[in-house]
Chain A
């Protein structure tokens, strides 16, 4: 099975350890067979001898001491082997978790935006917690159980055959039936577990969304609705869980019945044989107690198969994630380069189609190194898509996009993105200190440098916080105002000194004075930088070398502040609106 092959693949590096664990199980099973022999010997050689040799008490005590010492010694050995065995299994399971989680983490970090808009966080979390846990369970529990069952069954059968063939056959005749039942059971329970897994993922996603959206929920006082929604998922999960468990109980009577039928068979066939003198009373009693040993693995097998099906449902999800390739990745022979880009960007007839909609249409744009370009346009016109193309968060569908004369698709993704500093619109901060957030892309920063970038981005509100730069920001920057988050995001982008800086409406929530201050900082950067900013405000765009107006994915106007004002088009309208000038009477324009 491919799932097992994959698991084995993942166990590289601790396969020997695992084989050791499996061997220790065999050793333990052998020891378990020896164990009763010793206690039996005590009874036979000492206790039963009591009435026979009443005068040889000292001799018996001596034998007893020897036997008892062997028993204690053997138990010490056995329990210690068992301890080592259990710990080894668990350590293999943990190593598996460690290794696969590590690799999945890397894979997730390399995934593109398309992937994350398809997969919900809660679903991915299910995969890396619950599903992975089933993998561990398979390694340290299911396989061990199966091995024990197999060993116990085979060794018992061998012993029985050596005693009486026909009687043994009368017992193992039940096995094929049992296998049939098990197969039917496996087939039924498999889909149930896949369903259960789905429900768990939904429950997870629902709870996760509720946590993320807690502010909106409080604001609209929709707690009751949320509880109802969650209750539904909670119920569905409960139901799915019951369904899966009930499948086992539906088959339980058959499995249990078939395994316990063995003792009836011993009684009937064995009793009959004994009456005919074909077997001795000793053999009969031995079979009677051994049939317990034989039926134990048979009923265990059912539970193990149950777990195995659950494991399969989960591990398939993990494997899917493991082999998932991002649509956007570096080429084989991608260009990696250490020295920073110059910063020339050229769009040649670039179009982007997302979900069947043309988001950008034949964009031609030439940006020279060091220029400042402003992009403006109505909501949803493609501004963010345009800039996402530059750092290849969005793949262009046709045309060519070059940076320093090289197609962006030819660059190694890390090289490309290292050179593009991005302060995105939807500010995402990490639950870390202010300092850690600013130095996110450049951990070598000294605290002076952090303070310097903070100053450039007007992160002055830090002074009012009790812990200053060591203040921990909540996840996603909760607890900060929109403007505060934007400024930290800007400082974070500046701190990597990118040759290309992209600001996606990063100053929208700022008051004008702060914004002006930031604009000034940006004009006076100490490093060469091509700046592209998406903006709504004239105050942001007026100093740009080039202003681009987008509409429905196309370039509507292009030119300098002055040129566009003279054109009296979209830009001029915006200009009038913002300055409270009536379009008709706002004729005189002084730049």
Chain B
């Protein structure tokens, strides 16, 4: 699948009614509370229906009798009924707010948990803004429908049944006339539905596109400003903004058609009922029946109108639900296999056996690669950019599944162990040194949450990060931002480095760990690192040959495999690719002398 961009709608294969059914998983656990709420609502409704009866009684009896005492009693009764009505409405609403928020909380939690399992690929393939709106905005949008919406729906249905019961007992023919509007309405709704669904889906897509572009623009402002591209960006944003507005209006126009139809259909059937009533007047309908039926007919269509409004919301909500569940269904490609076992404490023997790997299933990045790295060995990977060095180290932590072959650690196939037990024993320093918002201390401690201050300081000392941190006004408690300007790139790298070694990993992977660090600091750092590397297996990807000279073994990676391997001395003596690489750095030095 091609990567998604801010201006590309995300495809959704087809609508699945199952989405609605699936959301019942979140509702079911509240069914008891919801039933109680329904019961409370019923009581509240009955109370509010009884109050007019009291007034009716007063008008017919109490007032003509001029019985002031009874009038007070009736008023008292009314206060009681109102009180009950308020009490039960209050209880119902309070319960349902809790349910609604709980549903939102649960869906969001599950969605987030699933996102934690998704591989790099998922995040690499789409603008991050599109993922974000799903977690936040979409989930917020479904709460009301899944809590109050359902209760109201059930109430309105009861309401309809109730009124219909009265109507049928009064006059069957006229009731049928009034009901004749319902199939018409259903036809209208069925005809409108596909259009509405498409419209709301489009609203989703367009607003998601807009948000994605917005977020990326916020993150990339510096680049935009330095290339003075604000105008062009504003133009793109304007297009997205305009489309967004238009699609929204389209959906709104469609949605507002529904009450228009309901109202007009209801008036027409009521009119029809009167006409039929008079036409049938002698044999079938009496005057009294017609009066009562007129009243009921209006009353029947009110809940129908309410339901159609709920229906509108439902269609809107479904558009969000399907996106949410789509994300939850996103396959976890790298996951614990059934029966995966815990990785035992790693000693550090790493083997690649006939490993073939491809990111997209088409072009192989590595082919039939064999490596055997002994316990405690430190290995450097060198070679041209894009040769697959990062890929090799990423495979050790099983960030991707192999296309062919296997990787063994201490003789254990890494695809057969749990991801957590595998990765938690490794220290991986990635190329981008991501910094979380928080203090420097939090950032370093990220790899080992229970590390003591002592340990943190030691790790920082090893990578020479302690100096600049301690120079800061707030030291380790200095607040830093994800994209903050307070830290230089090199300092970020040092913090990330400290974070990596803090967890005291059995296998250490350093991918361009020192590329932004100046040569002198790096030199100091190397000394600390050499001690640290003793007894640990380590993989180091670097371009600076000064960084890798000290490694036990050097692999020259190119052309989908390892072309040369051996110690620095061996490879220099071989006068092959590594030799050339090394010599090219020496800048006019006499290679023979430098090698010596």
Q: Contact flags (1/0) for B200-227 with A, using CB distance below 8 Å?
A: 0000000000111011111111111111
- Give chain A residues whose Cβ lies under 8 Å from the Cβ of B90: 249, 252-253, 256
Q: Does A117 contact B (CB under 8 A)?
A: yes
Establish whether residues A509 and B512, one from each chain, have CB atoms under 8 Å apart when the complex forms: yes
Partner pick for B436 among A64, A213, A245, A379, CB 8 A cutoff = A213
Establish whether residues B468 and A380, one from each chain, have CB atoms under 8 Å apart when the complex forms: yes
Establish whether residues B385 and A539, one from each chain, have CB atoms under 8 Å apart when the complex forms: no
The total number of A-B Cβ pairs within 8 Å is 480
List A residues 112-141 near B (Cβ within 8 Å).
Answer: 113-114, 116-117, 120-122, 124-125, 128-130
- Give chain A residues whose Cβ lies under 8 Å from the Cβ of B109: 227, 230-231, 234
Establish whether residues B274 and A211, one from each chain, have CB atoms under 8 Å apart when the complex forms: no
Task: Report the bound CA distance from A65 to B468 in whole Å.
Answer: 91
Task: Report the bound CA distance from A379 to B485 in whole Å.
Answer: 14
Chain A: interface size category: 35 or more
CB-CB nearest in chain A for B117: A223
List B residues 490-504 near A (Cβ within 8 Å).
Answer: 490-491, 493-494, 499, 503
Task: Report the bound CA distance from A354 to B472 in whole Å.
Answer: 12
- Shortest CB-to-CB span from B333 to chain A, Å, is 12
Which candidate, B9-17, B26-34, B168-176, B587-595, is the interface stretch facing chain A? B587-595
Establish whether residues B132 and A125, one from each chain, have CB atoms under 8 Å apart when the complex forms: yes
Establish whether residues B587 and A538, one from each chain, have CB atoms under 8 Å apart when the complex forms: yes
Which candidate, B348-356, B407-415, B418-426, B529-537, is the interface stretch facing chain A? B418-426
- Give chain B residues whose Cβ lies under 8 Å from the Cβ of A516: 584
Task: Report the bound CA distance from A264 to B86 in whole Å.
Answer: 14
Total chain B interface residues with beta-carbon distance under 8 A:
178
Partner pick for A219 among B2, B268, B423, CB 8 A cutoff = B423
Given contacts A125-B211, A249-B93, A271-B63, contact A238 B230 (CB under 8 A): no
Which candidate, B153-161, B246-254, B315-323, B372-380, is the interface stretch facing chain A? B246-254
Establish whether residues B63 and A120, one from each chain, have CB atoms under 8 Å apart when the complex forms: no
Establish whether residues B233 and A109, one from each chain, have CB atoms under 8 Å apart when the complex forms: yes
- Give chain B residues whose Cβ lies under 8 Å from the Cβ of A222: 446-447, 449
- Shortest CB-to-CB span from A481 to chain B, Å, is 5
Establish whether residues A514 and B384, one from each chain, have CB atoms under 8 Å apart when the complex forms: yes
List B residues 439-487 near A (Cβ within 8 Å).
Answer: 446-447, 449, 468, 472-473, 481-487
Partner pick for A64 among B225, B249, B275, B517, CB 8 A cutoff = B275
- Shortest CB-to-CB span from B102 to chain A, Å, is 7
Task: Report the bound CA distance from A78 to B63 in whole Å.
Answer: 39
Establish whether residues B437 and A578, one from each chain, have CB atoms under 8 Å apart when the complex forms: no
- Give chain B residues whose Cβ lies under 8 Å from the Cβ of A379: 468, 488, 490-491, 493-494, 516-518, 521
Partner pick for B278 among A50, A128, A256, A538, CB 8 A cutoff = A50
Given contacts A216-B434, A482-B515, A509-B515, contact A203 B136 (CB under 8 A): yes
Establish whether residues B584 and A512, one from each chain, have CB atoms under 8 Å apart when the complex forms: yes
Given contacts A94-B248, A125-B211, A205-B437, contact A378 B520 (CB under 8 A): yes
Q: Does A168 contact B (CB under 8 A)?
A: no
Partner pick for B132 among A120, A200, A204, A225, CB 8 A cutoff = A204
CB-CB nearest in chain B for A68: B271
Establish whether residues B516 and A440, one from each chain, have CB atoms under 8 Å apart when the complex forms: no
A and B contact pairs by CB, cutoff 8 A, 24 listed: A50-B278, A90-B248, A94-B248, A102-B234, A125-B214, A129-B211, A210-B112, A215-B120, A220-B428, A221-B423, A249-B94, A252-B90, A263-B55, A264-B82, A393-B226, A414-B228, A424-B222, A472-B2, A482-B432, A483-B386, A511-B581, A513-B584, A577-B519, A578-B585
Known: A252-B89, A473-B3, A483-B543. 10 other contacts (CB 8 A): A86-B252, A111-B221, A212-B482, A271-B71, A272-B68, A467-B2, A536-B519, A578-B519, A579-B587, A590-B588
